[in-house]
């Protein structure tokens, strides 16, 4: 059903508007609600890649402190919402395999190498995108792997030209702006250069209208159900 939509819908942090962010429950719900991709945030803790947005656990779990200070065993004991654990990235990939693609957003130090190593031996073609606001980290990914799909994230309108140049020099597939950096002129330019554009984050129908008007290719959404209904039934 998603194939016929005017843009691709990516569940943001799983689908943070409907379930606890970056949990397996949120990822499963995003799949059920028709997303073609889900996005999750990943930190390296010891030798494991854990799916959590912040360096601290306070906002998204019942714990307190930095993930590095807590350690893996304690982190996995925490409740990330609704009884869900902080997942490992491999658990997310297993849930999504054969169903939807996974956008792995790199957060924190050392994570680029760990993600590339983790992807070795897994099927990733058309099923994984690696993204980051840290373009040095994306360079590291490309040095280690010549073909894994990359997305260059940026947040400020004045960064668009640099982001496109960076994407082209990395052989990236995507350049992904915040809504406030969105402008139809550079979206068209990026697409003319062979890049795709995915906008974060759609939280309501007004945001959706801006993304549609820009003719971007995809958007990150907190509430896939709301967006799917708006796309099918109208959003004026």
For ligand G3P, the binding residues (CB under 6 A) are 12, 39, 41, 53, 105, 131, 153, 176, 200, 220
For 25, 67, 97, the CA distances from 43, given in Å and listed in that order, are 19, 9, 21
| Total residue length of the chain | 236
Q: What are residue 124's phi and psi, to 5 degrees?
A: -125, -20
Sign of CA dihedral 13, 27, 93, 148: negative
Point out the residue whose Cβ comes nearest to Mg ion. 105
Based on CB atoms, which residue is closest to ligand G3P, 227 or 233?
Answer: 227
131 binds, among ligand G3P, Mg ion, none (CB under 5 to 8 A by kind): ligand G3P
Task: For the CB of residue 192, give the shortest distance to Mg ion in the complex, in Å.
Answer: 27
Based on CB atoms, which residue is closest to ligand G3P, 25 or 52?
Answer: 52
| DSSP state letters, 181-225 | G--HHHHHHHHHTT-EEEEEEE-SHHHHHHHHHHT-SEEEES-HH
28 binds, among Mg ion, ligand G3P, none (CB under 5 to 8 A by kind): none
Based on CB atoms, which residue is closest to ligand G3P, 53 or 145?
Answer: 53
Residues interacting with Mg ion, by CB under 5 A? 41, 105
């Amino acid at each position: 059903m998603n194939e016929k939509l005017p843009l691709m819908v990516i569940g943001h942090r799983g689908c943070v508007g409907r379930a606890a962010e970056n949990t397996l429950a949120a990822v499963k719900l995003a799949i059920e609600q028709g997303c073609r991709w889900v996005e999750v945030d990943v930190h390296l803790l010891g030798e494991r890649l854990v799916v959590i947005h912040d360096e601290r656990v306070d906002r998204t779990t019942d714990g307190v402190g930095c993930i590095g200070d807590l350690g893996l065993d304690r982190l996995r004991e925490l409740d990330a919402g609704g009884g869900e654990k902080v997942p490992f990235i491999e658990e997310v990939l297993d849930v999504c395999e054969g169903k939807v693609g996974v956008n792995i957003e790199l957060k924190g130090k050392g994570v680029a190498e760990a993600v590339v190593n983790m992807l070795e031996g897994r099927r990733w073609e058309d099923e994984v995108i690696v993204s980051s606001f840290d373009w040095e980290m994306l360079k590291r990914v490309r040095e280690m792997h010549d073909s894994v799909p990359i997305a260059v994230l940026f947040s400020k309108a004045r960064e668009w030209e640099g982001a496109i140049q960076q994407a082209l020099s990395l052989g990236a597939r995507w350049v992904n702006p915040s809504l406030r950096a969105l402008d139809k002129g550079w979206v068209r330019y990026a697409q003319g250069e062979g890049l795709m554009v995915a906008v974060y984050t759609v939280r309501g129908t007004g945001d959706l209208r801006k993304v549609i008007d820009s003719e971007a290719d995809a958007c990150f959404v907190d509430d896939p159900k709301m967006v799917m209904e708006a796309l099918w039934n109208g959003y004026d």
